[in-house]
Structure 1
Amino acid sequence: MRCEIRHTTEYRYPKPAWDSFNEVRLHPSSEARQTVRSFHLHVEPEAAITSHKDYFGALVHHVHVHEAHTFLKIEAEALVDTHPVPDPAPVPVAELRGLRGGYTEFLVPSPRVPAGDWAEVFEVKRPAPGDDLPTFLMDLTTHLRRRFTYDTQATAVHTPLAEFARHGRGVCQDFTHAMLGVARQLGIPARYVSGYLYSGGSLLGAEATHAWAECFLPGTGWLGYDPTNDCLARERHVKIGHGREYSDVSPVRGTYYGGGRGELDVEVRVYGEQ
């Protein structure tokens, strides 16, 4: 599928702001499941832009507006071809033994996915060593989708996972953190993915950047599971990058002097063509 993406972030300040520094993670990743054909970053007013690759391999742009301004617009345009993702081969859960050394950072707790008995909290039946791992992960994806309600007004960026568990309502970030908590507790390497979703009107989470989990399957590698939509991450999912949790791959964050309390407006549009 060919996906055309336009992501616009606008800040408005009641007073002039200056020395605005923004860290921008909006460049889709280049990997086997997708090919980036083009990417353009437009900034208004004029800004100094540099880039580097972060610890997890994502391309990060740094946007610095030195002059005083009351309006800042960061617009990213990308054209990406996504490729079919084959179904994973069967593999018993027991094959996960011995993986820890190379995948520790995606097995241990992190600030937004703290230690806890998340399998019990989310009422997930633990798999037996002989159970099929891909089947368990797909069942977990379905379970989380059915247990919780997608509600864009229920949680905020910093809502703790335990609070989401209590109230049962949230967005893709919350669904994904829940899946990470369960998977890591059970010894399944799992990482947070930030990206885009071409909905076509049938999937949840396309109104902004989307999130899903990637879990490691011996013999297959990293495979994406989207608990918000109860599906594998296939051609409609465009990946930007991955990390331990949302904080590692937040799309745009920054600081500035002056300005007062600013207003933020974000618009994401994804057009798809088979």
Structure 2
Amino acid sequence: MRIRISHTISYDYAEPARHITQILRLTPRDHDGQHVMSWRIEPSVDGRLRATQDAHGNIVHSFYAEGPISSLGIRIDGLIETIDLAGVVRGGLERVPCDVYRRETLLTEQDEALRSFADEVTAGAATPLSQMHALMAAVGDRMNCVDASGRSSVGAIAAFAAQEAIAQDMAHVFMACARHLGMPARCVSGYVAQSDDLPHGNGAHAWAEVHLDDYGWIGFDCANGLCPIDTHVRVAVGLDFADAAPVRGSRQGGEGENLKVLVSAREAEGRFANQ
């Protein structure tokens, strides 16, 4: 599948900002399941855009601009060709040993409720892979995925107790349970293309990956109830969503910030499909 992605982040400030720094994890890498055909990040104001890599191997752009700045827009346009590998991730850049992803973080802390849940729902599974499929299904049945607009991560414990969460916190719940069961687990930020078969598509998304000895890294999308297919575009990974968040930033001044985000991820058609 060829997926056209359009992602616009707009800031307006009641008081102009004197300086702005944006850390952008918004650029995907090639692997066996996806090929980046074109990708562009374009800020609306003059500044310095510098590309580096972080400890997880994510492509990171740092954008610096001096004010006064009353508004800032960041536009991302890209075309990705994807292949359905049933969630298996092969041919990607791995910067750290998989055991690093056994570490607990503030967003993936476990409590007795999570540990008991993980043990209960995987008790009848014969293999680590079947355990993870059982866990994905159970998280999806137990929790309701809600729209991320205006919400931020609360972490696995709070999300599990509430029985509803944004996609990244459903991933955190899955990861906390998987780590309790002894599996390395990490969070993925990316996009999911619009599909009639997926309840949560056409936009930014998050899911989990688990490392299994016989397969390597495999993705599990609890919100959509499946292992990632050719509708999914991987962008960044981390110990939790904070490591893989698309945008983080700081500013001097700029009081009265108003943020708007528009994201579209759709199968490319017509002239776009051949670009």
1:156-175 to structure 2, matched below 5 A, reads 156-175=151-170
Task: State the alpha-carbon separation in 2 of the partners of residues 69 and 221 from structure 1.
Answer: 46
TM normalised by structure 1 equals 0.88
The Cα offsets for residues 225-254 of structure 1, whole Å up to 9 and x where unpaired, read as: 100011011101000011100110111111
1:164-243 to structure 2, matched below 5 A, reads 164-206=159-201, 208-243=203-238
Paired residues of 2:115 and 2:177 also in contact (CA < 8 A): yes
1:249-264 to structure 2, matched below 5 A, reads 249-264=244-259
Q: 1:260 offset after TM fit, Å? A: 0.7
User: The residue matched to 2:7 in structure 1 has which SS?
Assistant: strand
1:16 maps to a residue whose letter is P
Given the superposition, is the C-alpha separation of residues 188 and 30 from structure 1 closer, same or farther in structure 2, using an over 3 Å criterion? same
1:176 maps to a residue whose letter is A
Aligned partner of 2:121 in structure 1 is 125
User: The residue matched to 1:180 in structure 2 has which SS?
Assistant: helix
Paired residues of 1:15 and 1:260 also in contact (CA < 8 A): yes
Paired residues of 2:203 and 2:265 also in contact (CA < 8 A): no
1:18 maps to a residue whose letter is R
Deviation larger for 176-185 or 38-47: 38-47
Q: 1:46 offset after TM fit, Å? A: 1.7
Aligned partner of 1:136 in structure 2 is 131
Q: 1:164 offset after TM fit, Å? A: 1.1
1:21-32 to structure 2, matched below 5 A, reads 21-32=21-32
Paired residues of 1:164 and 1:170 also in contact (CA < 8 A): yes
In structure 2, runs of 5+ residues without a counterpart are 89-95, 270-275
Task: State the alpha-carbon separation in 1 of the partners of residues 181 and 234 from structure 2.
Answer: 25
The Cα offsets for residues 63-91 of structure 1, whole Å up to 9 and x where unpaired, read as: 11112111000011111111120587xxx
Paired residues of 2:86 and 2:227 also in contact (CA < 8 A): no
Paired residues of 1:82 and 1:235 also in contact (CA < 8 A): yes
Paired residues of 1:155 and 1:171 also in contact (CA < 8 A): no
Given the superposition, is the C-alpha separation of residues 60 and 164 from structure 1 closer, same or farther in structure 2, using an over 3 Å criterion? same
Given the superposition, is the C-alpha separation of residues 197 and 153 from structure 1 closer, same or farther in structure 2, using an over 3 Å criterion? closer
Query: How many equivalent residue pairs?
Result: 261
In structure 1, runs of 5+ residues without a counterpart are 89-100
Given the superposition, is the C-alpha separation of residues 8 and 54 from structure 1 closer, same or farther in structure 2, using an over 3 Å criterion? same
In angstroms, what is the RMSD of aligned CA positions?
2.2
TM normalised by structure 2 equals 0.88
User: The residue matched to 1:112 in structure 2 has which SS?
Assistant: helix
Task: State the alpha-carbon separation in 2 of the partners of residues 43 and 230 from structure 1.
Answer: 35
1:41 maps to a residue whose letter is I
Task: State the alpha-carbon separation in 2 of the partners of residues 58 and 87 from structure 1.
Answer: 19
Aligned partner of 1:81 in structure 2 is 81
Paired residues of 1:22 and 1:253 also in contact (CA < 8 A): yes
2:264 maps to a residue whose letter is R
Aligned partner of 1:95 in structure 2 is none
Aligned partner of 1:91 in structure 2 is none
Aligned partner of 1:108 in structure 2 is 103
1:54 aligns with 2:54: yes
User: The residue matched to 1:187 in structure 2 has which SS?
Assistant: coil
Task: State the alpha-carbon separation in 2 of the partners of residues 213 and 199 from structure 1.
Answer: 19
Task: State the alpha-carbon separation in 2 of the partners of residues 228 and 234 from structure 1.
Answer: 14
Given the superposition, is the C-alpha separation of residues 10 and 56 from structure 1 closer, same or farther in structure 2, using an over 3 Å criterion? same
The Cα offsets for residues 43-73 of structure 1, whole Å up to 9 and x where unpaired, read as: 1112211110111111111111112111000
Q: 1:30 offset after TM fit, Å? A: 1.4
Given the superposition, is the C-alpha separation of residues 81 and 154 from structure 1 closer, same or farther in structure 2, using an over 3 Å criterion? closer
Task: Among all aligned residue pairs of Structure 1 and Structure 2, give the percentage whose two residues are the same amino acid.
Answer: 25
Given the superposition, is the C-alpha separation of residues 265 and 224 from structure 1 closer, same or farther in structure 2, using an over 3 Å criterion? same
Q: 1:204 offset after TM fit, Å? A: 3.5
Paired residues of 1:21 and 1:255 also in contact (CA < 8 A): yes
User: The residue matched to 1:162 in structure 2 has which SS?
Assistant: helix
